[in-house]
Copies of this chain bind each other. A is one copy, B any other.
Amino acid sequence: MPKVTEAHVEARKAQILGAACICVANKGFHHTTMQDICQEAGLSPGAVYGYFSSKEDIIRSLAEEGLRKQDEVFGALQRERDAPRALLRFAETVIELLDCPVPAGESQEGDPHRLRVLLWAEAIRSPEILEIVRAHYLRGRAALEEIVRRGLAGGEVRPGVAARAVAQLVLSMIDGFVLQKAVDPDLDGRRYVEGLRMLLDGTWWTVADERDQHGNL
Which residues of A pack against B, CB within 8 Å? 25, 28, 84, 109, 114, 117-118, 120-125, 130, 133-134, 137-138, 151, 155-158, 161-162, 164-166, 168-169, 171-177, 179-180, 182-184, 187, 191-192, 194-196, 198-200, 202-206, 210-211, 214-215
Contacts and interface: CB of A to CB of B under 8 A. Distances in A.
B205 A84 contact: yes
A120 B179 contact: yes
A163 B198 CA distance: 12
A208 B118 CA distance: 43
A109 B175 CA distance: 22
A194 to B, nearest CB: 6
Copies in the complex: 2
A119 to B, nearest CB: 9
Provide the main secondary structure of the chain A interface.
helix
7 closest A-B pairs by CB:
A172-B176, A165-B195, A121-B121, A155-B214, A202-B202, A175-B176, A84-B205
A217 B148 CA distance: 20
Contact of A195 (B156, B169, B210): B169
Contacts of A121: 117-118, 120-122
Candidate in A157, A196, A206, A214 with the most chain B CB atoms within 10 angstroms: A206
Given A118-B121, A182-B124, A183-B120, A192 B169 contact: yes
A26 to B, nearest CB: 8
A147 to B, nearest CB: 12
Candidate in A118, A166, A176 with the most chain B CB atoms within 10 angstroms: A176
Contact of A194 (B162, B184, B211): B162
B187 A155 contact: no
A114 B124 contact: yes
A158 B203 contact: yes
Contacts of A202: 202-205
Candidate in A121, A134, A196 with the most chain B CB atoms within 10 angstroms: A121
26 contacts: A109-B124, A117-B120, A117-B121, A121-B121, A123-B182, A130-B183, A133-B183, A137-B184, A156-B211, A158-B204, A162-B191, A164-B195, A165-B191, A165-B194, A165-B196, A166-B199, A168-B180, A169-B176, A169-B192, A169-B195, A172-B172, A172-B176, A172-B180, A173-B173, A175-B176, A175-B179
